[in-house]
């Protein structure tokens, strides 16, 4: 029995003989027409009882520009435009979704536990700032770093040429300055040929203000809820069914027409829905069903600060059934220990026990009082497997939402960078790297925009100043609208050839190689995990093992100076297999931990500053 495969019906659909069917839901428009711009002609559309306006026109080749005319007065882009070659305010362009010569037919995706994610921003990853400019770096990412997936920050058409992507307003149109539909498909196809999965960051909690014409078509937004970014999307009010369809269709569109392997849902705490079935559950079910119909594996990963396990609990157990979510608690626990920062939301963290809890449980806050929020926060998460949590030491939010965009490489000493990487890459979770961290990039990742509306640009400047009021970061915030702000954020790939950068890259490479080779490090279960933190010193010891397979001991010190203690070790003789202080990683032999540790011969052990090492059971001597 053949499974039904979803296809996009809204927007401009081109059939094999060159006939285009236009379809747009617009209950707020009495009379709708489609205007073709070359040669210019306008055709009145038919309206059905569901407020869907349609027209069918022959002889329109791909690339033809068009717009809708609302009530005979306003020319507007298509809400489901596949391409906006002239930007958010310009006409839409017809795209043939079947014309791209895909060569990735053998590719079926990766299981969640095999993901090692590399987050990148297309505009600043290279000096060219395009989809295709990423392609020459894919072998480097796969072979020299060791990642298995790239995560691309939002690409939906946004105003101007410079933006993080969270101000997108044409959710179906890959950004024109990045290379449009052809460029994104070329990148995805190249990734699959290299054995890399592709995750796309999508934004369903709001749309940007500039170029957002959806409200002229229908009740896409509501004032019943408030978000930090403006009006909430109408997922549960009157006439919300087509709004829900618009978002679910968008998710299905990306995985179907662009062969994407996973979607990262931005800030779902800004999505409000009191419907019997939450929109995120509906979306997840639809994506998983479409993936099955396509014979592929597709994942849905949420970003949420709710610490609500319902998001990542299986459907059968009453959850929404999403595959994983970002773990802010892990990041905050690690960051505060490495930097000593305690302002803003970091005030809730800073204890070694927090990091141990994040590793064991997923959430640190599981219902206890949060000083930052001034209320209880979170739900119990110990029962969930580690693969449900994506962990990192840096990401676009935690770097770029600092006033000055500082990376960890400029906030912590070199040994601490290796310690952070060691813990992220050996935790029983899904690791995520932020572009450039693997070699210690020092360029900031600043917040940048290129709005054409002066009032909006000024509102963004003022909003950034208010946002940082609860942090003690000081200094003037760089102007998001200035070209220099964007240019300062472009990566310096050539830096990885320099000594310390090369040594750090080697450490990432060897850590990831070890993770892939080790059944214990690949495993994201919590059944064979013990976290020990000696009370007298800031030292963390992780014992991870797999029965009849490898048995590992990870030791980490968060002290900025040498500390000494007699650690209580699991039974056996332990042989060192990796030490972050080794000469090949930019350290010295004097900084290295002993080659052997033994539970039978407890001894005082001196930990160098920010030490990190991995031991395994020496079976011949144990």
Write 547-552 long-range contacts (CB < 8 A, 24+).
Answer: 549/519, 549/520, 550/518, 550/519, 550/520, 550/616, 550/617, 551/520, 551/616, 551/617, 552/518, 552/520, 552/521, 552/614, 552/615, 552/616
Tokens of 81: 């435009």
Give residue for tokens 């320099």. 498
Give residue for tokens 């297999």. 577
E strands present in 32-121 = 32-37, 40-44, 46-47, 52-57, 65-70, 74-76, 92-93, 117-120
Compute the distance between CA of residue 114 and CA of residue 108 in angstroms, rounded to an integer.
13
Give me the residues paired with residue 117 across strands: 149, 432
Active-site residues, by number, are 266, 303
Beta-strand pair 375-376/74-76:
unpaired
List the helix and strand counts (H, then E) for the chain.
15, 31
Give residue for tokens 């209950």. 27
* CA-CA-CA-CA torsion sign (213, 217, 218, 220): negative
Compute the distance between CA of residue 522 and CA of residue 512 in angstroms, rounded to an integer.
10
b/e sequence 355-380, b meaning 16+ C-beta within 10 Å: bbbbbbbbbbbbeeebebeeeebbee
Tally Cβ neighbours within 10 Å of residue 122. 26
Tally Cβ neighbours within 10 Å of residue 145. 19
Beta-strand pair 117-120/430-434:
parallel
Cβ contacts of residue 621 below 8 Å, gap of 6+? 573, 575
């Amino acid at each position: 029995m053949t499974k039904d495969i979803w296809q996009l019906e809204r927007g401009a659909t081109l059939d094999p003989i060159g006939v285009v069917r236009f379809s747009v839901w617009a209950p707020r428009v009495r009379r709708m027409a489609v205007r073709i711009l070359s040669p210019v002609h306008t055709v009145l559309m038919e309206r059905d009882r569901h407020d869907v306006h349609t027209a069918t026109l022959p002889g329109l080749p791909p690339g033809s520009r068009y717009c809708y005319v609302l009530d005979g007065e306003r020319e507007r882009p298509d809400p489901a435009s596949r391409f906006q070659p002239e930007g958010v305010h310009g006409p839409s362009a017809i795209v043939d979704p079947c014309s791209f010569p895909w060569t990735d037919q053998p590719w079926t995706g990766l299981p969640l536990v095999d993901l090692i994610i590399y987050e990148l921003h297309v505009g600043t990853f290279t000096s060219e700032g395009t989809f295709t400019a990423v392609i020459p770096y894919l072998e480097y990412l796969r072979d020299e770093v060791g990642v298995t997936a790239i995560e691309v920050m939002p690409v939906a058409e946004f105003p101007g040429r410079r933006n993080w992507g969270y101000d997108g307003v044409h959710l179906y149109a890959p950004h024109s300055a990045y290379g449009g539909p052809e460029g994104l498909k070329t990148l995805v196809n190249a990734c699959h040929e290299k054995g890399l999965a592709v995750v796309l960051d999508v934004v369903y909690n709001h749309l940007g203000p500039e170029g957002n014409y959806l409200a002229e078509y229908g009740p896409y937004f509501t004032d019943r809820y408030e978000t930090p970014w403006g009006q909430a999307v109408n997922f549960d009010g009157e006439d919300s069914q087509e709004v829900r369809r618009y978002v679910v269709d968008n998710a299905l569109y990306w995985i179907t027409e662009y062969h994407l392997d996973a979607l990262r849902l931005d800030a779902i705490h800004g999505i409000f829905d009191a419907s019997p079935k939450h929109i995120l559950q509906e979306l997840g079910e639809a994506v998983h069903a479409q993936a099955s119909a396509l014979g592929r594996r597709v994942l849905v990963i949420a970003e949420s600060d709710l610490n609500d396990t319902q998001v990542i609990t299986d459907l059968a157990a009453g959850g929404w059934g999403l595959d994983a979510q970002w773990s802010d608690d892990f990041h905050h626990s690690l960051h505060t220990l490495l930097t000593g920062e305690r302002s803003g939301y970091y005030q809730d963290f800073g204890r070694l026990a927090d990091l141990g809890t994040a590793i064991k449980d997923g959430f640190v806050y599981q219902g206890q009082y949060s000083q930052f929020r001034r209320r209880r926060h979170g739900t119990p998460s110990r029962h969930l497997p580690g693969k449900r949590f994506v962990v990192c030491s840096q990401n676009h939010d935690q770097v770029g939402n600092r006033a000055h965009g500082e990376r960890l490489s400029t906030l912590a000493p070199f040994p601490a960078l290796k310690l952070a990487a060691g813990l992220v890459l050996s935790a029983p979770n899904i690791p995520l790297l932020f572009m450039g961290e693997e070699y210690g990039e020092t360029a900031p990742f600043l917040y940048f925009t290129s709005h054409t509306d002066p009032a909006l640009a000024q509102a963004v400047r003022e909003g950034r100043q208010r946002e940082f009021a609860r942090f003690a970061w000081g200094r003037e915030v760089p102007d998001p609208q200035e070209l220099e702000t964007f240019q300062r954020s472009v990566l310096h790939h050539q830096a990885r050839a320099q000594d310390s950068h090369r040594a750090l890259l080697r450490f990432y490479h060897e850590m990831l190689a070890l993770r892939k080779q080790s059944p214990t490090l690949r495993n994201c279960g919590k059944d064979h995990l013990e976290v020990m933190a000696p009370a007298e010193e800031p030292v963390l010891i992780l014992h991870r093992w797999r029965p009849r397979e490898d048995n590992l001991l990870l030791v980490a010190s968060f002290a900025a100076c040498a500390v000494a203690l007699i650690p209580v070790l699991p039974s056996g003789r332990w042989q060192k297999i990796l030490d972050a202080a080794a000469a090949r990683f930019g350290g010295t032999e004097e900084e290295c931990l002993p080659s052997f540790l033994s539970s039978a011969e407890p001894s005082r052990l001196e930990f160098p500053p920010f030490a990190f090492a991995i031991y395994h059971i020496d079976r011949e001597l144990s």
